[in-house]
Amino acid sequence: MEFSHVSVLLTQTIKELCIRPDGLYADGTLGGGGHSEKICESLSDKGRLYGFDVDEEALKASEIRLAPFSDRTVFIRKNFREMVSELSERGVPHLDGIVLDLGVSSHQLDDAKRGFTYRTDTPLDMRMDNRKSLTAEKVVNTYSEDELYRVIKDYGEERFAGRIAQSIVRKRAEKPILTTGELADLVKAAIPARMRGEKGHPAKRTFQAIRIEVNDELAVLEQSLDEMIDFLADRGRLCIITFHSLEDRIVKNNFRKNENPCICPPDFPVCTCGRKSKGKIITRKPVLPDEEELLNNPRSHSAKLRVFERRLEDAPA
């Protein structure tokens, strides 16, 4: 299956990056290479784009797409959690910009064999990195009822998480749950009939939750942001596209903390904690898709872009 992915908020992201032709940039979620291609078009032969992805198919597709820019691209099959350590080992001193387009790609959703979707009946998998051992099948069939409840409630924000976890445990006692179709039907049956039509497919939130657990998505994001901001050059920008409230909350709170890290009581006349601002939030409100993009790409409807700019002076201007 040919790798295909429509990059969301593409024009807006490239604009907010403020690309320097001789600069050093990283795409931490390379995917089909849409954002990276636009970055490379703005780079001189002295500029560099470092593309990270754990998905082997994504890397291969991007190498083909970005072949015209082979003199300024480096492809690395690692999670963006390892971006700073990997680039430091390669002698890269800093980055002038970083892009993260979070979540699952269109290709991963549409390729049935990847086991991400509830729309076809295929073996449960959901791994972005097929070198990892944890799969959706293992989560569904080996996690305790309490663990399943935690995952579905916390990562899916599913109000019927308890009923769904209970149904999974009951069903797998009869036989293992092996396919996306089996899981989707089970989730649908666990949700009261009058509630099944709310906000799309009834299994949507459960599948999201299990995918996040399999790929450790939220922990990876939380553990990476501070390090990425520290690795930016002065006026370098971190642009992050999120697709659900959990990711967006992490990014929003992190950006606020890095802009204003002071923990002194509000009534203190001067700061005594010594914590200095790392920069400035560029997007006080997230950038959203316009009407044209929503019409052409329905999957963009929940996308939000937030941008942080590194400032090496003590306080943001």
Enumerate the domain spans of the chain.
10-107+220-310, 112-215
pLDDT tens-digit series, residues 227-255: 999 999 999 999 999 999 999 999 999 99
pLDDT band at 257 (very low <50, low <70, confident <90, very high): very high
- Which amino acid does the sequence have at 185? D
Angle at 124 between CA 220 and CA 166, to 5 degrees: 90
In this predicted structure, the answer to whether residue 201 has a pLDDT above a threshold of 90 is: no
Residue 313 pLDDT > 80: no
d(CA 77, CA 92): 17
Residue 3 has pLDDT above 60, yes or no: no
| Spatial contact of 155 and 250, defined as CB atoms under 8 Å apart | no
* pLDDT averaged over every residue in the chain: 93
Share of the chain above pLDDT 70, in %: 96
Give dist(CA 83, CA 76) in Å, integer. 9
Least confident window among 4-8, 43-47, 156-160, 269-273: 4-8
* R_g (Cα) of the chain, nearest Å: 21
Is residue 316 over pLDDT 80? Answer: no
CATH superfamily of 112-215: Putative methyltransferase TM0872, insert domain (1.10.150.170)
Whether 317 and 311 have beta carbons less than 8 Å apart is answered as yes
Condensed to tens digits (0 to 9), the pLDDT of residues 94-129 reads 999 999 999 887 778 778 789 898 888 999 999 999
Question: Please, what is the end-to-end C-alpha distance for the chain in angstroms?
Answer: 49
- CATH number for 10-107+220-310 (one of 3.40.50.300, 3.40.50.150, 3.30.930.10, 3.40.50.360): it is 3.40.50.150
The DSSP line for 89-109 is HTT---EEEEEEE-S--HHHH
Distance, CA of 127 to CA of 108 (rounded, Å)? 9
Q: Which of 294, 301, 208, 292 is nearest to 246 (CA)?
A: 208
Judge contact between 242 and 171, C-beta under 8 A.
Answer: no
How high is the pLDDT of residue 4? Answer: 53
